[in-house]
Amino acid sequence: FNNRSPDDAVMQVAETAIREIVGKNKMDFVLYEGREQIAAVAAQLMQEILDRYKTGILISKVTMQNAQPPEQVQAAFDDAVKASQDRERQKNERQAYANDVIPKARGTAARV
């Protein structure tokens, strides 16, 4: 990194840090839940790498603005999200059915 421009060094280190962090976490965490935590870990990891190469660059803050899967896997990711939503909807429908039927059955049994 010593012979690169500071902007190039920071960009390369940022890409390295984000790839490492994303590779170690679940996609839902990366895309929806963990932006602040990922940014904090990325800043720390970036600083460690930059210090190791004695660049003299100081990372003051990392902000994640947008996170989305690569275009190559977007369709598969959308399918997985839809399947998860379908499972949740079916679970809610089963629970609603049980909440309706069980009290009626108990009432019928009590009358018999």
pTM score over 0.85: no
Q: Any idea what the Cα angle at residue 77 is, between residues 72 and 82, rounded to 5°?
A: 145
Helices 6-23 and 35-52: angle between axes, nearest 10 degrees: 130
Using DSSP's 3-state secondary structure scheme, residue 25 falls into: coil
For residue 16, give both structure tokens.
């390295």
Q: How many CB atoms lie within 10 A of CB 13?
A: 24
Q: How confident is the model at residue 86 (pLDDT cuts 50, 70, 90)?
A: very high
Which of 3-7, 23-27, 73-77 has the lowest average pLDDT?
Answer: 3-7
Q: Any idea what the Cα angle at residue 7 is, between residues 2 and 62, rounded to 5°?
A: 115
